[in-house]
Structure 1
Amino acid sequence: MNIGQASATSGVSAKMLRYYESIDLIPRAGRTEAGYRVYSAKDVNTLRFIRRARDLGLSIGRIKLLVGLWQDRERLSADVKRVATEHVAELDSKILELTAMRDTLQVLADACLGDHRPDCPILHDLEGGGRAPTQWAP
């Protein structure tokens, strides 16, 4: 199938498909006599695998590793699990960071009267680089 068909079938844009080829995440496509790329069903399955891995937030490096493990019938499931659990740990860390950011912004938003006056604890915090003023004047 051509690049448009492979893209539509896999859910990976043609631009990303070309990028994945350029970084050797997928093998270079065969070419027709006219120079058009040709993809096999195996290529499309690999692209679907990559798409799902990207949807889960995995890095290109981890995806390369997982594609290799997926294609290796002698692999150890422990190796696959290690990649997944490392990613889960990173996601947990990001969740904690995002939760802290949300909580800080919520505290600042709650402290802001949101009225016609110019005083705003949100802007005071941003101005102070995160050093909260000792007191916010309403």
Structure 2
Amino acid sequence: MKIGDLEKQSGISAYTLRYYEKEGLLMPSKRGENNYRHYSQDDLITAKFIKRSKACGFSLSETASLLAIKTDKSQHVCAEAKSITHSKIQEIEEQIQRLQHMQETLIQLEKYCCGGQESAEFCSIISALEQDQIIEKGE
């Protein structure tokens, strides 16, 4: 199948498929005399694997590691995939904590602002940001 067919069947744009090829995640099975990419059913399976990995939040590097495991399962152990997944879970938990802290800070900023039509000269949000009154995580 050509790249347009792979695009339709995988739901991944041709641009992104070319990017994945450039990054070494997806290689066309062969190229025609006209240099067109030709993909196989296995390439479609790989493209969908990449898409699902990205949907789970895995980076391209993590996806490449998972693909390496997928490609040569007999040379890898399940613990490798679990370790990558566990690291991603920890990363997401840290992101959630940072976002919750940001939300709490923004709620406090919003709470003390009148939100009126007065001049912003006395805006508590601007004032807090100017005077470094924002409490950063760890303080």
TM-score class, shorter: 0.7 to 0.9
| Deviating more after overlay: 64-73 vs 82-91 | 64-73
Query: Secondary structure of the equivalent of 1:100?
Result: helix
- CA-based RMSD of the aligned residues comes to 1.4
1:8-40 Cα distance to aligned partner (Å, 9 max, x none): 111211111111111111224412222211111
1:112 is aligned to 113
Length-normalised TM-score, structure 1: 0.88
What's 2:137 paired with?
none
2:65 equivalent in structure 1 = 65
Q: CA deviation at 1:89?
A: 0.2
Return the alpha-carbon distance in structure 1 between the equivalents of residues 60 and 128 of structure 2: 37
Aligned residues: 131
Structure-1 separation of matches of 2:79 and 2:4:
37
Residue in 2 that maps onto 1:92 = 93
**Residues 49-68 of structure 1: CA deviation (Å, up to 9, x unaligned):** 10111111111111100001
2:54 is aligned with what amino acid? Answer: R
Distance in 2, Cα, partners of 1:8 & 1:117: 54
CA distance in 2, matches of 1:80, 1:44: 21
The CA distance in 1 between the partners of 2:59 and 2:80, in whole Å, is 16
- Please state if 1:131 is matched with 2:137: no
- Structure 2 Cα separation of the partners of residues 93 and 56 of structure 1: 16
CA–CA distance in structure 2, aligned partners of residues 19 and 44 of structure 1: 15
Asked whether 1:103 is paired with 2:112, we answer no
Residue 135 of structure 1 corresponds to none
Q: TM-score, normalised by structure 2?
A: 0.87
Quick check: 14-23 or 27-36, which moved more? Answer: 27-36
Could you tell me the percent identity over the aligned residues? 33
SS of residue in 2 equivalent to 1:34 = coil
Pairing of 1:29-44 with structure 2 (within 5 A): 29-44=29-44
Name which of structure 1's ranges 83-92 and 54-63 shifts more when overlaid on structure 2.
Answer: 54-63
